[in-house]
Each structure stands twice: as structure tokens, then as C-alpha cells.
Amino acid sequence: MDIRKVNHSFISEYDFYLRSIRKCANNSTVKYIKNFGKIIRIGLSNGWIVSNPFANYKGKLKVVRREFLSPEELQRMADKQFATERLTQVRDVFLFCCFTGLAYADVKKLKKSQIKKGVDGEQWIFTNRQKTDTRSAIPLLPAAIKLIEKYANHSLCINKDIPFPVPSNQKMNDYLKEIAGVCGIDKILTSILPGTHLLQQ
């Protein structure tokens, strides 16, 4: 549509669409609209539009209280024997995130070739973080190394030079809900920075 037709009413309707039809939470809605606001600012700076349709729009991010896994809950998950391979793989990817502090996106793009021996003679991950594009060097704990070794001969891992068969983000989150239920963990597990939850214990 013509950017000149974007007005306050359009933004309000877009806000409603994201919350109702797309079922976005408040913070996701605010972030999507904030990104849209960047387009509007480009239009204003180039003189394509003369008034700012965001002038009276107020969207506030809500503080999200994150629940952390206790060491006992993490161990319970690690010890659990699952009936299906898919749950085992998702559990292992999640645990690897916890043991390294890496986000789902970082593990998803991680290559075996990025796991190298450091100057101390131990195994490290050398990679650029997805969110910040900053160079990171992460020492591998014995538990993390054990998980990598578990999938060393997995066909997909060999063919794609990856340490784990990582599912899509949606499937990961769906299976994590199932894993939480099976393990008796009454907390919402997601693929978003699970390692941070552990490291803040």
C-alpha cells in the first residue's frame, strides 16, 4: 500500500491484528510495530510522508519474569529415559544450550569445525553469536562434550558438519513442553536462552 495512506488508525488496527489474529503476546506486538516504525521514519526523513502516524501511539514492553531451572530439575531431565528419539534429541540440544549458555539460534547454526582445541588444550566453541554478531569463545564442560560425542556418528551430523540434529524452533518448543510434563517440571521450557536460566542459578 502507499506509505502516505498509513495513519494512526492503520497502526491501531495493525496492533489489534497482531494481538488477535496472529495471537502475538504484548512484547512481540510492540517489537513488530517498533520495527514498522523504522520504515515510517525512513519515509519521514525522505519527505515521502509529512506527518508521523506514530505520534499518539504508545506501546510498552512488559517486564517478563523468567523462571529458572533448579540443578535438581536439570538433573531429572538429564537422567530421564524417553520413549522416542525425537524427545531425546530435543532434550540433549536443550541441555547443551544450558551447559554452554548458547541460544537456540547459535546451536542451530553451529558447525563441528567451530569446536576446536584452545590454548589450554581443552575443547572450546569459537563462533559469532547470532543476536549480537560478536565473536565468542566458550569453554566446553565435560557434560557438553559428552553430548557432542553422543551424536558423532549420527548421519545428519556427519553430512552437514553439525554437532546435533536440531529441529525447527517451533518443534523444539512443542517438544520441550512435552518433556517438561514427562519430567514433572512445572515451568515453561522454551528454546530461548535456556542457558541463561541455568547460569543465573
Q: Longest C-alpha distance within the chain, in Å?
A: 62
Percentage of the chain exceeding pLDDT 70:
91
Residue 54 sits in the same domain as residue 78: no
Domain boundary among 64, 80, 102: 64
Interacting residues of 22 by C-beta distance below 8 A, sequence separation 6+:
none
Domain span including residue 186: 71-199
Kindly give the pairing relationship between strand 135-139 and strand 123-128.
antiparallel
End-to-end alpha carbon distance in the chain: 49
- When pLDDT is averaged across residues 84-106 and rounded to a whole number, the result is 93
Residue 130 in this model has a pLDDT that exceeds 80: no
CATH of the domain at 96: 1.10.443.10
Say how many domains are in the chain. 2
Residue 112 sits in the same domain as residue 170: yes
Stretch (H or E) spanning 148: helix 142-150
Angle at 104 between CA 35 and CA 67, to 5 degrees: 85
Residue 196 in this model has a pLDDT that exceeds 50: no
* 140-177 per-position pLDDT tens digit: 999 999 999 999 999 999 999 999 999 998 899 999 99
Residue 60 sits in the same domain as residue 90: no
Q: How far apart are CA 185 and CA 176, in angstroms?
A: 11
Residue 197 in this model has a pLDDT that exceeds 60: no
pTM: 0.66
Residue 90 sits in the same domain as residue 107: yes
